[in-house]
Amino acid sequence: MASKVSGMFWTWVHSSTGPKTTHFWAPVCNWFFPIQALYDWNRDPAKISKEMQCVLVCYSSLFMRWALRISPQSYILFCMHLFNATLQGRLLIRRLTWESSQQKAIEDKPTN
Amino acid sequence: MFGIVPKLQQYICAWNFWPAFMKKFMMSEKGPFTIFFWTPLAKWGISIANIGDMRKPVEQVNTLQQCVITLTGLLFTRWCFIIRPRVYNLVLCNFCMAQTGIYQLYRKHSQGKLFTR
């Protein structure tokens, strides 16, 4: 049993879509997008780029649909883009909320 | 999902003033009524947003995000060369993504703020 599993593992390692090829690492590095958004969970809203967050949300939303329309469908890619759209959207909302509170603070400031 | 887009496609393509090449493009399986048309544009949007962010102060540039954009751009440039068919638009798109990411990281590094959050 152990040798069978080991055989399957090494077959995968040496395969044309295994970890020795770009076919493996390119989708893996795509997962760094949601991981980055998790790492920046408490990022200072003044340091969040609104435009980049908007673009990343749109990018992931479109690619969610793309992952289900390609053949074969890729549910892993769909999940990755779902997480990314949600987490980058959270950062976008964080920034927009902060901008709104800044605007309100300026408006509420008593004028002499 | 609700069949709205195919209905919209049929409605718009039924207009008489479209030239033949335009109708063929709109009805094609990679045309503007399919997701395959809009996804490369979304990827170009990342490069365009990065170019726009070059005017902003470096404190607003997210080092980790730019590292991910650079790495994704480089790996997908290579990936686009090994898949079939080759789509050179996607090669250029991913290459530009990587270049803008590298430049943003250089901007941060030149001001000594590469590792500041």
Helices within B2-85 (DSSP H only): 4-13, 20-27, 35-52, 63-82
Residue B107 near chain A (CB below 8 Å):
no
Low-confidence ranges of chain A (pLDDT < 50): none
Pair B95, B78: CB distance under 8 Å? no
DSSP per-residue letters across B63-102:
HHHHHHHHHHHHHHHHHHHHSSS--HHHHHHHHHHHHHHH
Q: Do B64 and A66 touch (CB under 8 A)?
A: no
Q: pLDDT tens digits for chain B (117 residues)?
A: 578 888 888 888 888 788 888 888 888 888 888 888 888 889 999 999 999 999 999 888 999 999 999 999 999 999 888 887 778 888 999 999 999 999 999 999 998 888 887
Distance CA B108, CA B50 (A): 13
Q: For testing the chain A interface, which of B35, B47, B107, B116 should be mutated: the one with the most A CBs within 10 Å?
A: B35
Burial class (CB in 10 A: 0-12, 13-18, 19+), B3: exposed
The Cα of A39 is separated from the nearest Cα of chain B by a number of Å equal to 9
State residue A23's pLDDT score: 81
Distance CA B31, CA B29 (A): 6
Dihedral angle computed from the Cα positions of residues A17, B96, A52 and B26, in that order, rounded to the nearest 10 degrees: -80
State residue A54's pLDDT score: 95
Residues listed for chain A:
112
Residue B61 near chain A (CB below 8 Å):
yes
Q: Do B60 and A32 touch (CB under 8 A)?
A: no
> To which residue do tokens 């898949």 refer?
B83
